[in-house]
Amino acid sequence: MSTKTSRRKAIAVEPEIKQANLNRLRRIAGQVRGIERLVEEDRYCADIVMQISSVQQALRGVARNLLRNHLAHCATHALNSANAKTRDEMQQELLELMDLNLR
């Protein structure tokens, strides 16, 4: 993905997906604060690792929702574009997103 800061906006955002993502991110933020407390309190390492795994799983869920919305709107719009450069750029972006998820 490009290292430059992007100010692009989504073509469309499903309101229910957006709200679900915001709710989930708020819960994740609370979980991360809880993990911070566990580390401060020198809690059992395996317990902390389990909590971290839970946060990672929750973040993957948010990423799936975002990708679903991206495919439904932004990618579809770009891939249906008459502009070959726009289509090529979207194809490259999707390949990079898939690569991120395969790591």
Domain spans of the chain, in order of start:
15-102
15-102: what CATH class? mainly alpha
Say yes or no to pLDDT of 1 above 70. no
Q: What percent of the chain has pLDDT over 70?
A: 91
Length of the chain: 103
Q: Is the distance from CB of 28 to CB of 59 less than 8 angstroms?
A: yes
The label of the residue with tokens 């991110």 reads: 25
Q: Is the distance from CB of 12 to CB of 73 less than 8 angstroms?
A: yes
Q: What is the mean pLDDT of the chain?
A: 90
Give the pLDDT of residue 103: 65
- Answer yes or no: pTM beyond 0.85: no
The pLDDT-based confidence of 78 (bands split at 50, 70, 90) is: very high
Q: Which residues of 39-72 are buried (b: 16+ CB within 10 A; e: fewer)?
A: eeeeeeeeebeebeeebeeeeeebeebbbebbee
Amino acid making up residue 91: Q
The arithmetic mean of pLDDT across residues 51-59, rounded, is 96
**Which residues lie below 8 Å from residue 59, measured CB to CB, with a gap of 6+?**
28
